[in-house]
Amino acid sequence: MAVKRILYTAFDVVPSPKGSSTHITAFLHGLAMAGLDVDLLTPGDAGLPRRDRYAGATLIRVPLDPSESMLRRALRFDAAVAEHLAQQRYDLVHFRSLWGGLAPSRARDQYGYRTLFEVNGLPSIELKYHYPALADGSADSAALLARIRAQERELLQASDLVICPSAVTATFLSSLGAASERLLVIPNGAEPCPTPMQPTRSVTMPTALYIGTLADWQGLGTLLAALPFVLAERPLKLRIVGAGRSRQYRALLKQADRLGVAEAVSIEDPVPPAAVPALIADADLCLAPLAPNDRNVTQGCCPIKLIEYMACARPIVAANLPVVRELLREGEDGLLFAPGDPRDMARAMLTMLDSPNLAARMADSAARRVAAHLTWDHARTRLLAAYARLGV
């Protein structure tokens, strides 16, 4: 039997410290272990080769001009995918984005492959957080977002199968026209930590950790606003580790200075995925302060950071949102707080810090939950079952 050929497209740089890269890498390993012949198309990056072998796949990077706008680069990437499809033959095209998805969707009947749309987020929801001018209410911004939404609906309705990482997201995609019989939920995952992990520091100052981007939907403003209430009761060092735009970085520094907590806050560059477990191990408390907005509440998500915290058996405080409750059980695996409420977040943080036995019990429960249900092996098994539905 001939080896099945897969084209996987992602409008994301791979590898990178971002969760999207972690997700793509985990899926690629599963596809390679299943014996599939996978080509991955991504945007190029100045420090990476044009063509590479990565996680068992052939990685082809599309050169794009970084001086051009994001939308211009996105359209060029989709055009490059179309050009690639004209030169190669595949059994399945698996795409993560509108850009890199429109071209293969529209060429499906011409070339005869099946299509799988992996939805982790939709630009009609998320772009305004990256480019605040799109939220200005102008006719031009509204028209652009409406055009993008129409293209998203087109992909959702035309794809042979749609996968997404949360039940909240599945409900939203159904409202946009994705047929329930062609819609599957595959949560994100984490690799189990081989041994119980504990902070290695010898100092007595406890450390709270946030890992992730500095995107506006992450709720970092609430986290900083909670810090004065915590510091009024006990000392604490807050580490924020992740990538962001310069405006986001400046805004966080300005807020920390205004609140008088700047000396307690460290905003650090992201670390490679392999270094994440050790980073988490060195924390006394791990945080996921997601904001209550349309990205998290309406569209939904599946925060990899939360699963990684759980896998490493660290105490967790997170926003009480449906997407969080899909992963973490309140009072069993961690403590939740009212989203957007700094005082309530501080309450939960202090409870964890002041109750080491409770914190340890919840952390152990969270790690066992990941091992039983939320490893990347679980996600890969579900992905291969989805491929099997498409004859691959």
199 lies in some domain: no
d(CA 277, CA 149): 37
Q: Indicate whether 86 and 126 sit together in one domain.
A: yes
**Span 74-92, pLDDT tens digits:** 999 999 999 999 999 999 9
d(CA 144, CA 72): 13
220 lies in some domain: yes
| Average pLDDT estimate for 386-391 | 98
Q: Indicate whether 222 and 144 sit together in one domain.
A: no
Angstrom distances, CA of residue 65 to CA of 13, 73, 75, 207, 233: 14, 7, 12, 40, 51
Q: Which residue blocks in the chain are alpha helix, DSSP H?
A: 19-33, 70-85, 102-106, 108-111, 123-130, 139-158, 167-175, 220-231, 246-259, 276-281, 304-311, 322-325, 342-354, 356-373, 376-389
Pair 233, 203: CB distance under 8 Å: no
Q: Which residue has the tokens 């102008």?
A: 138
Q: Which pLDDT does position 195 carry in this prediction?
A: 64
Q: Indicate whether 381 and 318 sit together in one domain.
A: no
- Cα angle 356, 325, 148 (rounded to 5 degrees) comes to 135
Cα dihedral sign, 288-292-297-299: negative
**Span 282-325, pLDDT tens digits:** 999 999 999 999 999 999 999 999 999 999 999 999 999 999 99
Tally of structural domains, the chain: 2
Residue 115: beta bridge partners?
A: 93
304 lies in some domain: yes
Pair 235, 241: CB distance under 8 Å: no
HEC sequence for 83-99: HHHCCCCCCEEEECCCC
- In what order do the strands lie in the sheet containing 37-43? 51-54, 57-62, 37-43, 5-9, 92-95, 114-118, 161-164, 183-185
Pair 305, 213: CB distance under 8 Å: no
Q: Indicate whether 141 and 50 sit together in one domain.
A: yes
pLDDT at 56 over 60: yes
pTM, rounded to two decimals: 0.96
86 lies in some domain: yes
Q: Indicate whether 159 and 59 sit together in one domain.
A: yes
Question: CATH code at 211?
Answer: 3.40.50.2000
- Specify the range with the lowest mean pLDDT, choosing from 110-114, 196-200, 221-225, 257-261: 196-200
pLDDT at 181 over 70: yes
Q: Indicate whether 46 and 166 sit together in one domain.
A: yes
| Average pLDDT estimate for 254-267 | 98
Binned at pLDDT 50, 70 and 90, residue 146 comes out as very high
Q: Indicate whether 292 and 382 sit together in one domain.
A: no
**Span 187-239, pLDDT tens digits:** 999 998 876 556 655 557 899 999 999 999 999 999 999 999 999 999 999 99
198 lies in some domain: no
Q: Indicate whether 139 and 16 sit together in one domain.
A: yes
Q: Indicate whether 240 and 159 sit together in one domain.
A: no
Structural domain span for residue 87: 5-189+376-389
Q: Indicate whether 148 and 216 sit together in one domain.
A: no
Within 13 Å of residue 111, how many CA atoms lie on the same side as its CB?
22
| Average pLDDT estimate for 40-44 | 98
Residue type, 83: E
115 lies in some domain: yes
Average pLDDT, the chain: 96
Q: Indicate whether 275 and 173 sit together in one domain.
A: no
Q: Which pLDDT does position 1 carry in this prediction?
A: 72
Q: Indicate whether 175 and 217 sit together in one domain.
A: no
Q: Which residue has the tokens 């014996």?
A: 35
d(CA 361, CA 149): 44
183 lies in some domain: yes
Q: Which pLDDT does position 199 carry in this prediction?
A: 65
Q: Which pLDDT does position 216 carry in this prediction?
A: 94
Helix (H) or strand (E) holding 268: strand 265-268
